[in-house]
Structure 1
C-alpha cells in the first residue's frame, strides 16, 4: 500500500488554513486559559469508514491551536474520541488512520458458512446477511476481536488500558462511549452506566450494574477496558458479532444515539435555576450524506425489512438538534466521497478525499459560522458568561 502523507494533499488542493484566516478565526474564539491553551470538548458521530473525515477535521482544529478536554463518541466516533483521549498527537492519528489496511478488521468471519461479497454493500442487503447468519447460527458476520486487539495495542503504547488511565494523563480529561443494550432496550453511556451507586437508580438497575462489575471482575466502573467499550460501540448489527455486558447483548451505540451532543452539557446545581456558563465550547462533529433521505422503493416485506435497517443505521437522532445546538455542530459533508459505512476496502484516493473533505468543512465552519459570543447568546448567556 502506498504511504499517505495526508497533509500534503491539503497544500496541493489549496485548502490549508492561511495565517490571515487563522487570525480571523481566533478573533471569534473564546479566551485561552492563563497558560495560553485554547480548550474545547468534542463529540463525534458514528459513521463507519466515513469517520476518516474526522481526521481531516481534527487537523484543521490543530492548525487553529485547539486542544481537547472532554471527549465522547459513538461507533466510529468512539474510536476517534478514544485515540484523542489517549493523547495521540494529530500527526500520529494521520499516520495510523491514514495508512492502516482496514480489511484486517474483517479477517475473521464467525463461520465458514458466511458468504458475502464486497463489504461496502452488506448493509444494503440486510436480508442476505440475515439468511447467512441464520444458516450459520451466528449473531454477526465478523468477529470484532481483530479490531479490539488493534485498538488495545495502540492504546497500550500510550499506557491506556482502562478509563481510569485516561485521567492519569490529565486529571480533567474524560471519555464517554455510547453503546446499545438490545437485551434491555436501553442506551448505555460507558463507563457511567456501570456505576451501581449513581443517584435515582431503581433496584433493578442497581442489580444489573453490580452484576456487570462482578462478572467483569471490576471493582468500579473506571476499571473497564477502553478498547472493549469502543469495540462494543462499533459493533454494527448483523455485520459484527455483538458483545456482552453481564447478561446483556450489546451492539453499535448508533442505533439509539448516534450523535450524543448533550453528553457534557452541565445541568443547574441544586438551588439554581440555570446552569453555569461553559468555560469553552463543546463541538459536535457530524457526518452529512445528502443521499440519505432519498425515497426507497417498497414493494414487499423484504423491502420493508431492508429499509427499516437502513433507517435505523442512518436516521437516529441526527435531525433532532435543538436550535441552540446548531451553532456548535460542524457538519462534514462527505457525499461526494461516495463511501458507505462498511467500505473497509478504502482506496488511497478515497481516504484522501474523506480527509480533505473533513478539513474543508471544518475550516468553512470556523470561517463562516462559528462565534463564541453568538453561541453564548443562543444558550442564554451574555458574552461575559452571565445568564440573560
Structure 2
C-alpha cells in the first residue's frame, strides 16, 4: 500500500513548474531582510490525510526560495509534516519519507480479531457500521496507533530527534507545537505547552494532573515529551484509531477542535516598534467538492453540527487573520480523499505539482511583507 512518488529530473526541471532565478529575485524583494543571510519563516500545517503530499510540492517551492523554517506547528496529518520539518530532513529525504508511508504496517494491529472490515480507505465512509462493530467488540477504535508512533519515532531518531527539546539541536530558535483534542475535559491542548505543571493559568487540580502525566511518561520536564507520541495523539482519528490517554484524559485527533491553528504563534498587534522579524505562513488544503451539506433529516443535522464544531473556529481565524499569509492549495483536481491509502504514483505526482504551482503563484502574485505588517497593525 506504499509507493514512492517519482520526483524524477524531468518533473523537477519542468519549466512551467520550477521558479526561475528572475522570479526568485522578484519574490525576495518582497520578503523581510535576511537573518544571518537566510530568508526565515514560521509555518503552520493543516491536516489533510494523504492529500498532504501536496504540501511536499509546496515545501519544494519554499526550498527553492531558500526559506529556513523557525517555528513550526500542525494538527493531525499536518503535525507529521511539521515534526519531520523540525527535524531538518533534507527536502529529497522528506519527499521520500512522506510519500512512501507503509500503510499496511500502520494498520497492522487491529484492537480485536472480531473487527471485520475491508479496505481501511473505506471505513470512514460507513461510520455507523464502525460504531456497531466497536460496540460489539467493546473497543474504542479499530486499530492501535502503536505502529504509527513507532515508525515516527524510528524516523525521527535517525536525525537524533526524540523530544520537543531536541528540535533546537539544528536551530536554537526552532519550536514545534502540536494540537490535540482532550475529549475528557473538553479542551484543546497545544503540546508540549499544555503539559507544563507550573503554568500560572492552571488551578491546583489541573497542575496535579499535568504532574501525573509527566510521571506517567517518566519525564522531569514537559519539553521532554516525545514528539512521536504527540503526533500519534494528534492523528488519532475517532473510531479509526484507539484513543490514548494522558493521565486520566482521553486524547483524539487535534482536527476535532482546530485543524488549522494559524493563530498559534501570533503576537498582539499594534506595536510598530516591535514587529515580527519574519512571516508565519499557513499551508491549507482546499477541496471544492466539499459543498455545504443538505439538511433533510436528524442525521444530516447531527453530521452538519459535528462538521461545524470542527471547522467554525478555524474558518473564523482564517477570515480575520489571513492577512495575506495563507497559502491555499486547491487539491480538487486530484480527486483524492483524505483516507485514499492506496494512492497511485500518478495521483501523488498530481498532488505534488498542485502544491508547488499554487505556492509559486502565492509568492509571485499575493505575498508582500510590508502589506502584511500593515494589515496586522505593525506599521
Task: Bin the TM-score by the shorter chain.
Answer: over 0.9
* Equivalent position of 1:362 in the other structure: 359
Q: Deviations over 1:101-132 (max 9, x none)?
A: 33332122212222233333322321111111
- Do the aligned partners of residues 360 and 136 (structure 1) sit closer, same or farther apart at CA in structure 2, a change above 3 Å counting? same
- 1:13-162 paired onto structure 2 within 5 Å: 14-33=16-35, 35-162=36-163
* Equivalent position of 1:190 in the other structure: 191
* Equivalent position of 2:326 in the other structure: 329
Whether the aligned pair in 1 keeps the contact of 2:295 and 2:301 (CA below 8 Å) is: no
Partners in 2 of 1:46 and 1:248 — Cα distance? 22
Corresponding position: 1:343 with 2:343:
no
- Do the aligned partners of residues 123 and 308 (structure 1) sit closer, same or farther apart at CA in structure 2, a change above 3 Å counting? farther
* Equivalent position of 1:318 in the other structure: 315
After TM superposition, give the deviation of residue 141 of structure 1 in Å: 1.3
Aligned residue for 1:79, secondary structure, equals: helix
Q: Which moved more, 1:123-132 or 1:231-240?
A: 123-132
How many residues get paired?
377
Whether the aligned pair in 2 keeps the contact of 1:266 and 1:276 (CA below 8 Å) is: no
Where structure 2 has 5 or more consecutive residues not aligned to the other structure, the ranges are none
**2:280 equivalent among 266, 279, 282:** 282
Partners in 2 of 1:251 and 1:296 — Cα distance? 27
- Do the aligned partners of residues 152 and 253 (structure 1) sit closer, same or farther apart at CA in structure 2, a change above 3 Å counting? same
Partners in 2 of 1:2 and 1:177 — Cα distance? 27
Whether the aligned pair in 2 keeps the contact of 1:125 and 1:306 (CA below 8 Å) is: no
- Do the aligned partners of residues 266 and 312 (structure 1) sit closer, same or farther apart at CA in structure 2, a change above 3 Å counting? closer
Partners in 2 of 1:293 and 1:203 — Cα distance? 45
* Equivalent position of 2:294 in the other structure: 296
After TM superposition, give the deviation of residue 304 of structure 1 in Å: 4.3
Partners in 2 of 1:95 and 1:351 — Cα distance? 12
Partners in 2 of 1:84 and 1:283 — Cα distance? 14
Whether the aligned pair in 2 keeps the contact of 1:40 and 1:283 (CA below 8 Å) is: yes
Q: Deviations over 1:157-209 (max 9, x none)?
A: 01111111112332111100100000110000001111011123222221221
Whether the aligned pair in 1 keeps the contact of 2:180 and 2:234 (CA below 8 Å) is: yes
Corresponding position: 1:205 with 2:206:
yes
After TM superposition, give the deviation of residue 212 of structure 1 in Å: 0.9
Partners in 2 of 1:275 and 1:46 — Cα distance? 35
Partners in 2 of 1:378 and 1:134 — Cα distance? 51
Provide the aligned C-alpha RMSD in A. Answer: 2.1
- Do the aligned partners of residues 324 and 163 (structure 1) sit closer, same or farther apart at CA in structure 2, a change above 3 Å counting? closer
* Equivalent position of 2:376 in the other structure: 379
After TM superposition, give the deviation of residue 279 of structure 1 in Å: 0.2
Aligned residue for 2:315, secondary structure, equals: coil
- Do the aligned partners of residues 337 and 264 (structure 1) sit closer, same or farther apart at CA in structure 2, a change above 3 Å counting? same
Partners in 2 of 1:19 and 1:273 — Cα distance? 35
Aligned residue for 2:328, secondary structure, equals: strand
- Do the aligned partners of residues 292 and 311 (structure 1) sit closer, same or farther apart at CA in structure 2, a change above 3 Å counting? farther
- Do the aligned partners of residues 91 and 224 (structure 1) sit closer, same or farther apart at CA in structure 2, a change above 3 Å counting? same
Whether the aligned pair in 1 keeps the contact of 2:3 and 2:344 (CA below 8 Å) is: no
Partners in 2 of 1:42 and 1:60 — Cα distance? 14
Aligned residue for 2:72, secondary structure, equals: strand
Corresponding position: 1:164 with 2:165:
yes
Whether the aligned pair in 1 keeps the contact of 2:283 and 2:329 (CA below 8 Å) is: yes
- Do the aligned partners of residues 300 and 379 (structure 1) sit closer, same or farther apart at CA in structure 2, a change above 3 Å counting? closer
Partners in 2 of 1:51 and 1:356 — Cα distance? 12
- Do the aligned partners of residues 194 and 300 (structure 1) sit closer, same or farther apart at CA in structure 2, a change above 3 Å counting? closer
Partners in 1 of 2:4 and 2:271 — Cα distance? 55
Aligned residue for 1:318, secondary structure, equals: helix
Whether the aligned pair in 2 keeps the contact of 1:126 and 1:306 (CA below 8 Å) is: no
Partners in 1 of 2:204 and 2:291 — Cα distance? 41
Whether the aligned pair in 2 keeps the contact of 1:111 and 1:136 (CA below 8 Å) is: yes
Q: Which moved more, 1:81-90 or 1:308-317?
A: 308-317
Partners in 2 of 1:237 and 1:13 — Cα distance? 43
After TM superposition, give the deviation of residue 306 of structure 1 in Å: 4.6
Whether the aligned pair in 2 keeps the contact of 1:103 and 1:345 (CA below 8 Å) is: no
